[in-house]
Structure 1
Amino acid sequence: MTLTREDTLRELETDEGVLRYHEAGDGPPLLLLHGSGPGVTGWRNYGNNLPVLAEHFRCLALEFPGFGVSDPTAENPMAAAPKAVLRFLEGLGLDRVDVIGNSMGGFVAIGLAVANKDLFRRIVTVGGVGRNIFSPAPSEGLNLLVEFAENPTRDNLVQWLRAMVHDPKHLTEELIEQRWTSATEPATLEASRRIYGRQAMAAMTAAQAQSDQPIWALLHKIAAPTLLTWGRDDRVTPLESALLPMRTIPKAELHVLPDCGHWAMIEQKAAWESAVLAFLTRPEAS
């Protein structure tokens, strides 16, 4: 199956602007939520996985507001993302969907699953869930993301991209150029600063410290079977972060991919797809 960005791109009008997404395949609905970071889009996260996943599912890769594809909002993109997911599912008349969330997308899916136990049938995350236990936080990868948000040079972008993968061969000049072009668009850059600027990161850290119910303390409320996929060599959300969700999500299982950084669905494409499809197509327990 050959898919292109243009052929799969769709639009959904909502009361808070247009949500854009990529659709491919038939079958049960599978929602795909992308991560954050300079120049990210749903297509760049999942475009190469869609041909395989679309053989089994109606794939819907949502573009979050604030990343240069869907209409922007005045909110911090992290705050706008869960609301966008709910508007999207309501607009398409869907519920009890399967969901895959990469990094920020996984965090969004987990937060929604905590609040609404019937929203998702099964959940797959790619890093990004849990918390550092042994190593300092923010991690190396997040610190490099902050550095780019504060000082958006091409060199800082490349330094951050190198922290996303185990093997730098995946960082082609084409990928770097695409990311650079998107990341430095004024609206997209401003959105990145609202998430990862030093002031924003300090405010988020303070809010977490003051919260009596941080998200990691509520993971036991997730009812859906959950597959945590993780790159063993992740320098953005270290593998140790998986320990807490693996232990506290009641129906969680963990799949660790060797020679793999934060972009498991890209760097270990075939192995990741195999694990995800085995989980999502497994017969439901009676």
Structure 2
Amino acid sequence: MAGMDVTYEGTRREIATDKGVLRYHEAGQGPPLLLLHGSGIGVSGWRNYRENLGVFAEHFHCYILEFPGFGVSDPVGGHPVATAASSVIRFMDALGIESAAMIGNSMGGVVGVNVAIRHPDRVSGLVTIGGVGPNIFSQHPSEGTRLLQEFADGPSRDKLVRWLECMVYDRDLVTEERIEERWQAANDPESRKTLAAMYGSAAFAAQQQAMAASGAPPYWSMLDKVRCPTLLTWGRDDRQCPPDMPLLPMRLIPQAELHIFPNCGHWVMIEAKQAFERVTLDFLLR
């Protein structure tokens, strides 16, 4: 799947909301499709989906949303996952999008699930890439999360490389260009602040204690409220979100199906690019 040509400058947009400017990339015509990025070191929506945008834009009006706090859109207060979910609704309201299909990578999948639980009329279909569900058989935190904690507690280029190599099955994907791009982005103050808030040892421990003290149910215990058709995609060799995690969402989400890609790590949309695009388009175009 070759896809249409897209460039960073040619697709970049921004829109003002009541809580600051949201920046995004836009391409294609057709039904709306929101692409929601994950967390991690030097992450952005563009870096997650730039290689897939051209293919999806042949069938959909695509929007790659940059979440607040990751160095692109204006930051807002609060936990990054919660502010990301609220930014999706702000973004859709600002552009007059009543309902859309969504693709969410890792944290972006959790964001999409939370939007589908709380605003079921806004999500027509959902594709997740890792991330969703609890660790059942695997250790928690995972190997990838522990590497993120190490970087958040004391950033270094070597720690970045170790985490990047943990994201993929094929280490040849961890090129010097990709390392340098992520390292430069990770030095953005807002990006580093968000990473520390999500994965720093102190913040991570405080979050676990707060959740236990609140008595509030975890989001994955409410997955039966996700009413839209949902495709869970996973890399069999994912060391950030091990492949036991989708077992529970596969059973709880009423219209869920699961596709696992072999010889593939956490970045399914990059490492299994063509297969992921084919399976996702088949699902979304039914």
Q: What's 1:69 paired with?
A: 72
Which of these residues, 227, 232, 237, is aligned with residue 231 of structure 2?
A: 227
Q: What's 1:244 paired with?
A: 248
- Percent pairwise identity: 56
Q: What's 1:53 paired with?
A: 56
Give the gaps of 5 or more residues in structure 2: none
Q: Secondary structure at the match of 1:122?
A: strand
Note if contact 2:71-2:189 (Cα within 8 Å) is conserved in structure 1. Answer: no
Amino acid at match of 2:245: S
Instruction: Tell me whether 1:270 sits opposite 2:274 in the alignment.
Output: yes
Q: What's 1:16 paired with?
A: 19
TM-score (norm 1): 0.97
RMSD, matched Cα: 0.9
CA deviation map 1:48-98 (0-9, x unaligned): 000100000000000001111111123232221111111000000012200
CA deviation map 1:97-120 (0-9, x unaligned): 000000000001101111122110
CA deviation map 1:143-174 (0-9, x unaligned): 00010001100000111111110111111111
Number of residue-to-residue matches in the alignment? 282
Q: Secondary structure at the match of 2:155?
A: coil
Q: What's 2:85 paired with?
A: 82
1:6 and 1:63 map into 2 onto residues whose CA distance is 15
1:126 and 1:204 map into 2 onto residues whose CA distance is 24
**Which deviates further from its counterpart, 177-186 or 74-83?**
74-83
TM superposition shift of 1:38: 1.0
Q: What's 1:258 paired with?
A: 262
1:212 and 1:34 map into 2 onto residues whose CA distance is 26
Q: Secondary structure at the match of 1:228?
A: strand
2:251 and 2:231 map into 1 onto residues whose CA distance is 12
CA deviation map 1:213-264 (0-9, x unaligned): 2111100011100000000000011000010000000000000000000000
Within 5 Å, give how 1:91-240 maps onto structure 2. Answer: 91-210=94-213, 211-240=215-244
Q: Secondary structure at the match of 1:118?
A: helix
Amino acid at match of 2:249: P
TM superposition shift of 1:208: 3.3
Amino acid at match of 1:173: E
Q: Secondary structure at the match of 2:136?
A: coil
2:252 and 2:209 map into 1 onto residues whose CA distance is 24
Q: What's 2:37 paired with?
A: 34
TM-score (norm 2): 0.97
Amino acid at match of 1:14: T
2:54 and 2:189 map into 1 onto residues whose CA distance is 32
CA deviation map 1:183-220 (0-9, x unaligned): 01222111211111111111222233343421111000
Amino acid at match of 1:15: D
Amino acid at match of 2:51: N
2:249 and 2:278 map into 1 onto residues whose CA distance is 22
Q: 1:76 to 1:213 in 2, by over 3 A?
A: closer
TM superposition shift of 1:128: 0.2
Note if contact 1:18-1:71 (Cα within 8 Å) is conserved in structure 2. Answer: yes
2:6 and 2:278 map into 1 onto residues whose CA distance is 20
Give the gaps of 5 or more residues in structure 1: none
1:243 and 1:234 map into 2 onto residues whose CA distance is 14
Note if contact 1:42-1:61 (Cα within 8 Å) is conserved in structure 2. Answer: yes
Amino acid at match of 1:60: Y
